[in-house]
Amino acid sequence: MSDKLKKEKITIARLQHKKRSGMKISMLTAYDYPTARLSEEAGVDIVFVGDSLGTNVLGYHSPHQVTMNDMLHHIRAVRRGVQSSFLLADMPFLSYQSSTEKAVQNAGILLQEGGVEGVKLEGGMPVLERVEAIAKAGIPVMGHLGYNPQYQVPDANVFNEERGTIPKIQGKGPKGAVTLLEIGKRLQDAGAFAVVIELVTVEVASLMAENLSIPVIGIGSGAKCDGQVLVFNDVIGLSEFELSLLTPYTRTREKWLEAIKCYRESVESEQFPAAKHCTNMAPDKFAVFQSILKNRKK
């Protein structure tokens, strides 16, 4: 693809065209201006301010702690760094679950005050009414099926002796597979312009991408989706723990940690700052300065 095409504004129409043409869609989280600029320069289609900022940036224990104010603060920073990419944001926990009216209002706030071009919300049947209302209000909305981090119901996770408590893969049985496909179609009919499917079996993900006319963006759901979404920190290897759904494209954490250690050691050993990092007064002006100080002491 030419640089000219990459720099054209990414719109919903463009995303739909990519699906029809078999061109994969790239989607990546960004939480601030620098990460937004990097994603924009790299030609990422959808820059996504996810509620994963809670655990990846703010030190929260879960996405449930992320508020509308948190989202708006980070969305505004990302907005300043995005020009060509499509800017999408998560609707945080309890910003849409309690009522359809509140869902539309909060989606509008993210659009008007944050500057997003679309919102994403999690869930299946319970949120269909919300999706339809938001779409009818003129706000582009993306669905999210499969594993839903905001919905920590009793059977959302499983225990693994080697890895501890981990998210449960969705669509492993015929009944669950049929349900995912049916809800995907319902979301499409409700007005969703795309849907994320998280931790869904490859077979079900492939069928969803084949049977839905809207883009199906996968995370941990195989290569047959219309596109992929990942967390910025995971892509660059900044996370402390490596996830099973990807291999980091670089090992940023180790590089950053080594750089910080080198900085600390150079300060302690007085190697930093070196002479080339400093600015000196001209000798004659320094002499005048010393003379002034000497006279003040008298």
> Which pLDDT belongs to residue 154?
60
**Contact present, 253 and 239 (Cβ < 8 Å):** yes
Q: In whole numbers, what is the pLDDT of the chain averaged over residues?
A: 93
Which of residues 161 and 24 earns the better pLDDT score? 24
Two tokens at 39?
């994603």
Confidence of residue 164 (pLDDT cuts 50, 70, 90): low
Q: Which of 198, 210, 254, 265 is catalytic?
A: 198
**pLDDT at 201 exceeding the cut of 60:** yes
> Which pLDDT belongs to residue 186?
98
Q: What is the pLDDT of residues 84-139, one digit of tens each?
A: 999 999 999 999 999 999 999 999 999 999 999 999 999 999 999 999 999 999 99
Cα separation, 243 vs 131, in Å, equals 30
Confidence of residue 162 (pLDDT cuts 50, 70, 90): low
Confidence of residue 5 (pLDDT cuts 50, 70, 90): very low
Average pLDDT of span 198-225: 97
Least confident stretch, 108-117, 150-159, 187-196, 202-211: 150-159
> Which pLDDT belongs to residue 169?
83
Q: Which domains does the chain have, with CATH numbers?
A: 3-250 (3.20.20.60), 256-297 (no CATH)
> Which pLDDT belongs to residue 2?
47
Percentage of the residues of the chain whose pLDDT score is greater than 90: 84
| CA dihedral sign, ordered 40, 42, 45, 51 | negative
Q: What is the pLDDT of residues 45-83, one digit of tens each?
A: 999 999 999 999 999 999 999 999 999 999 999 999 999
Active site residue 132: no
**pLDDT at 1 exceeding the cut of 60:** no
Among the listed residues 118, 32, 43, the one whose alpha carbon sits nearest the alpha carbon of residue 80: 32
Q: What is the pLDDT of residues 241-270, one digit of tens each?
A: 777 778 889 999 999 999 999 999 999 999
